[in-house]
Amino acid sequence: MKQFFDKISKNRYYAMVFKNPFTYVTGAVLLSLFQIALFAYSGNPWGVSGAFANWGAWIYRLFGGNVDKWYYFSSSGAQQTLDAGVLNNSGSLMNFGIAAGALLATLLASQFKFKKIKSIKQVVAAVLGGLIMGYGARLAGGCNIGALFSSIASLSLSGWVFALFLLVGAFIGSKLLAKFFL
């Protein structure tokens, strides 16, 4: 078994597809093709962060909470999605697919590694950053996938407005990064 894997990992085509990183252009073309296929199949543009809000609601429900009166979940469509459960939510399934696919990709490239946490600063930055990103994505009606990538692909002006402010945020973020992490 080990011999077999040692052998295929040296194969030129295996290295090309699974081991070496794709170029940005290859990645962009693949993303475009897959999002077109997804749109054609499901009728909804690709989004990621919307499902996270539902996960939050489901977890809250597990502990006996009720989000029926929350403005964000008050529409009958949102209630239907929540009542149908996580396994009937295409956005959640796609997110599981992303995580599973990323794990598979890193295993196929034999690059899987548990990385150590270097400092408490990293933890604080990750938690704070995650909270701000999640909250911002819900206020903006999407993240860089739903509100940027899918919007621009749907010829919506809002995607370009999002892009403009994403640049402003990235600029401020990189200044903060240089200040706290260099």
Binding residue for another protein, selected from 87, 117, 139, 168, defined by CB under 8 A: 117
Q: Which residues contact residue 55 at a Cβ distance below 8 angstroms, ignoring those fewer than 6 apart? A: 86, 92
Asked if 144 and 48 touch (Cβ cutoff 8 Å), the reply is: no
The yes or no reply on residue 177 touching another protein (CB under 8 A) is yes
Cβ proximity to another protein: between 93 and 123 the closer is 123
Choices 2-10, 90-98, 116-124, 130-138; region in contact with another protein by CB under 8 A: 116-124
Using the rule CB under 8 A, give the single segment among 39-47, 74-82, 89-97, 117-125 that binds another protein.
Answer: 117-125
- Other CB atoms within a 10 A radius of the CB of residue 100 amount to 10
Q: How many helices (H) and strands (E) does the chain have?
A: 9, 0
How many binding residues for another protein (CB under 8 A)? 17
- Which residue, 66 or 122, has its beta carbon nearer to another protein? 122
User: Is residue 25 near another protein by the rule CB under 8 A?
Assistant: no
Structure tokens at 10: 């040296």
106 touching another protein, by CB under 8 A: yes
**Do 109 and 19 contact (CB within 8 A), yes or no?**
yes
- CB of 148 closer than 8 Å to CB of 140: no
Is 122 a residue that touches another protein (CB under 8 A)? yes
Tokens of 90: 């295409």
Q: Is 96 in the site for another protein (CB under 8 A)?
A: no
